[in-house]
Structure formats: C-alpha cells, structure tokens
Amino acid sequence: MSTAGYWELALPITDDASEAVTNFLWEIGALGVVEEETPATGARLRAFFPDSLAPAVLERRVRDYLAELAALGLRPASDVTVSPLPQDDWGEAWRKHFRPLPVGRRLLVVPPWETPSPEAVAPRLLVVIEPGRAFGTGHHATTAGCLECLETIVERETPGFAIDLGTGSGILAVTAARLGVPHVLAVDEDPDAVACAKGNAERNGVAGRVCCVVGDAGAVDAPPAPVVLANLLTAAHRRLAPTYVARVAPGGALVLGGILDTEAGAVTAALDARAFAPEHAVSADGWTTLQFRRRA
C-alpha cells in the first residue's frame, strides 16, 4: 500500500482486557491508540499503524494475542478489522479524540496542536500536554481527580516543593509548576514516560522547575515535601504506605489516585493512621481520589 497512508485496526474491547491490549498495540508499532465508546458500538479500541506494516501480519499478531488473553480467562473480542485510512486521517482521528479539556476550577489542558480561543483560555491556566504513549491527558477520571485536589492545595497553601510519584505524561508535575510550585520532582519507573514528561515540562516553559527522573516510587531520594501526588493503583499504594510517611512533610498533603471506589476503604486502612488523617475525597466514573493530611 503506497498511497493510502495508514492502517486502522479496530476491535470491540472489554474493561478487563483494555489495558493489556492497548499496551500490546503500542508494542507492535501503533502510532496512536484510542478507546472510544458509543451506545451503538459499545467500547472499542482504534489503533493506527504506518503502511509499512503488512495488514495480514498485524491482524494475525493481534488475534494471537487475544487468544493468549482468552486462555488467561479474560474476555477479549475476536472481531478484529484492519482497514486502510487515507493519508492524514489517523492524525485527524487521533486529534479529534484530544480536545481542550477544562479541569477543576481554573485549568485548561490542551494538546499542542490546539490553539484555544482567548475566551476559552482567559479565565483558565493553560497546561499543554502531548498525549503520547504515557498515561495522563486529563481525560481519565483519576488524573482529573488529582488535578482538582492539586489546584485547591496549591492555591491555599502555596507549597515550595511537590513530588509526583508515577508521573506518566508529567501532567500533575507540570500543572503543579504552572500553578506556581517552584520545585517539582517527577518520578516514573518507565523511561519513555520520563522522556514524555520532560517534553511536556519544556512545552510549558517549566523545565527548569520540574526535575524528571527514572526510578521506583519507593526509592525516591528527596526531602519530605509539603505535597505528594501519586496516581498509581491500589496495590501500589499499599506497598508504598511507608514511603508516603517518609516523603510527606509534617502538615503536608498526600493525594492518591487510581483507586476504584470500592477500594477506597482498603487504601485508607493501609495508611498509618498515626501519620495521615483523611481530608477529602473525589469520585468520578468509578474512580476515587483520596486526599490525606500528614499529622504534625
């Protein structure tokens, strides 16, 4: 295929298989992967591939992978289609998915190709995030919940330092800096995420204030911070409970995301109650964000 440009691979997807299949599509060379849901089609993944890849090979690799997932007891779809997309259409499809997104009371998260109108920006603080392969565009309820808590904390408390554990695209760290936090440490175990976070810090003119490093959240070497953000998963929060005691300064705030509503009690119970008092909780789309206060 020399003139068409790109292949679009589409398949219906279930919640339990979505993350695994999305990762797999990136691994085999997707240029973009989006999850869409309409009442007519239900949830489905659309992935865009360069025309240098043979469509039959793509389809077979995906089908083989779905069979592996099915053998593990997941219920992925089997209805995979690969169709040609005219030049530029994948960019269009990808871009249509990421529109400017107002978050919290005064944030506006935009992809780099959008120039929002002055009226849209005027009351809001612009945060430019390239939705690359790293997680964190603001469109997921866990990220939005953390951003809401962060915005309120920074406005009220003007912290001098913040730590973002599991920074992904860097969205929380970059927003903290844009809101005025003078020093931010952003950590991720995935080098691709750290590269993406660095790019986003540069895009927002805060690269000098956001230090992005590759590492495990449990092995961070930094002074205790008045704000610590961690949008991870419940299992990680349980494991990192001692880290949170060490990383959050007395009197400081801890914001934990990536928690299913049904897991919120377990995460609170996993934290040392002598160190942390629950302060605030936000829930959206089944995801809870918990905010704690480190006792003095």
Per DSSP (E only), the strands in the chain are 6-12, 32-38, 42-50, 81-85, 101-103, 107-110, 125-128, 161-165, 183-188, 210-214, 225-231, 248-260, 276-284, 287-294
Total residues belonging to the chain: 296
Q: In angstroms, what is the minimal distance from the CB of 229 to ligand SAH?
A: 7
For residue 144, what are its two tokens? 């939005």
Angle between helices 171-178 and 191-203 (to 10 degrees): 30
* 172 lines the binding site for ligand SAH (CB under 6 A): yes
Of 185-193, 200-208, 264-272, 273-281, which part binds ligand SAH (CB under 6 A)? 185-193
Of 12-20, 32-40, 43-51, 187-195, which part binds ligand SAH (CB under 6 A)? 187-195
Contacts of 45 (CB under 8 A, 6+ apart): 10, 11, 13, 18, 21, 22, 25, 33, 34, 35, 36
* 174 lines the binding site for ligand SAH (CB under 6 A): no
Of 18-26, 78-86, 129-137, 204-212, which part binds ligand SAH (CB under 6 A)? 129-137
Instruction: Name the 3-class secondary structure at 271.
Output: coil
Using CB under 6 A, which of 77, 232, 253, 275 touches ligand SAH? 232
* 53 lines the binding site for ligand SAH (CB under 6 A): no
Of 164-172, 199-207, 247-255, 286-294, which part binds ligand SAH (CB under 6 A)? 164-172
Judged by CB, which is closer to ligand SAH: 167, or 288? 167
* 143 lines the binding site for ligand SAH (CB under 6 A): yes
Cβ neighbour number for residue 213 with a 10 Å cutoff: 15
* 227 lines the binding site for ligand SAH (CB under 6 A): no
For residue 84, what are its two tokens? 């040609």
Of 27-35, 63-71, 135-143, 285-293, which part binds ligand SAH (CB under 6 A)? 135-143
Distance (Å, rounded) from C-alpha 47 to C-alpha 93?
Answer: 10
* 236 lines the binding site for ligand SAH (CB under 6 A): yes
Distance (Å, rounded) from C-alpha 56 to C-alpha 66?
Answer: 15
Angle between helices 15-27 and 55-71 (to 10 degrees): 140
Judged by CB, which is closer to ligand SAH: 58, or 154? 154
Which of 177, 158, 42, 43 lies closest to 107, judged by CA? Answer: 177
Using CB under 6 A, which of 22, 167, 243, 268 touches ligand SAH? 167
How far from chain centre, in Å, is Cα 47?
18
Bridge partner residues of 33 (DSSP): 47
Using CB under 6 A, which of 132, 168, 199, 226 touches ligand SAH? 168
Judged by CB, which is closer to ligand SAH: 8, or 291? 291
* 101 lines the binding site for ligand SAH (CB under 6 A): no
* 159 lines the binding site for ligand SAH (CB under 6 A): no
* Residues in contact with ligand SAH by the rule CB under 6 A: 134-136, 143, 146, 166-168, 171-172, 187-190, 193, 216-217, 231-232, 236, 257
